[in-house]
Amino acid sequence: MQIAAQPFPYEFELATTALVIIDMQRDFLEPGGFGESLGNDVGLLRKIIPACREVLQSWRERGGLVVHTRESHRADLSDCPPAKRERGSPRLRIGDVGPMGRILVAGEPGNAIIPELAPAPGEIEIDKPGKGAFHATPLQDLLQARGITHLVFMGVTTEVCVQTSMREANDRGYDCLLLEDCTESYFPRFKASTVEMIHAQGGIVGWVASSADFLRAR
């Protein structure tokens, strides 16, 4: 299959491509979670939910592999570097109790993927302690075992966990595509810059396309 993309058409096959949905969890998309504790307007991120749902639904119908990630830490915070927990002056720190349970802790209500994009049985779920999806996770082994060579990214936030994960994937040899209308940032100008820097220099990090073009791929 080939679709229109920047900086040039993106080619992929269903059997060797995974849809990777980064951190569409309540912590970043609903009031009272980690995103808001950092001082952000979480409402900005919710506008991508319908497009993400459409792509996820279509990918499931085609039988494609789906990977969901969550930024999350163990209850004892043993996988949370003190530098991450202590940086800045957030209203609530990682591990503190907020309106949706302990901030960014696995299994807490706020750590769950939003219901609109809830993982289905058989889909890969990755709890990641860092911003990148490969750091300290089994993702590379899981993808290699399935012969995956191409990754299509959606999720939040564009310049933090999505971009970090794409760069990690690019260095591991994957051909990465970002769906532009399925990713969002708390800072619109950061999203715009990230999209531009991903496909600059002949696709230095990867490709960028619209969900409409991706959905049309046959």
Q: List active site positions.
A: 23, 128, 161
CB of 191 to ligand TIU, least distance (A): 10
What the block records as the tokens of 58 is: 């279509």
Binding string, residues 55-94; x marks residues near ligand TIU by CB under 6 A: ----------------x-----------------------
For residue 118, what are the contacts with CB-CB under 8 A and spacing of at least 6?
Answer: 112
For residue 124, what are the contacts with CB-CB under 8 A and spacing of at least 6?
Answer: 18, 65, 66, 67, 68, 139, 142
Which CB sits closer to ligand TIU, 22 or 217?
Answer: 22
* Contacts (CB under 6 A) with ligand TIU, residues 172-211: 186
Q: Can you say how many angstroms the Cα of residue 119 is from the centroid of all Cα atoms in its chain?
A: 13
Cα–Cα distance for residue pair 163/156, rounded to 1 Å: 9
Which CB sits closer to ligand TIU, 79 or 213?
Answer: 79
For residue 143, what are the contacts with CB-CB under 8 A and spacing of at least 6?
Answer: 18, 67, 151, 174
CB of 165 to ligand TIU, least distance (A): 9
What the block records as the tokens of 40 is: 């952000």
Q: 3-class SS at 130? A: coil
Is residue 208 within 8 Å of 6, Cβ to Cβ? yes
Which CB sits closer to ligand TIU, 109 or 190?
Answer: 190
Binding string, residues 132-171; x marks residues near ligand TIU by CB under 6 A: ------------------------xx--xx----------
Binding of ligand TIU at residue 49 (CB under 6 A)?
Answer: no
Q: Which of 12, 23, 175, 217 is the binder for ligand TIU (CB under 6 A)? A: 23
Cα–Cα distance for residue pair 171/72, rounded to 1 Å: 23
Residues that bind ligand TIU (CB under 6 A): 23, 28, 38, 71, 131, 156-157, 160-161, 186
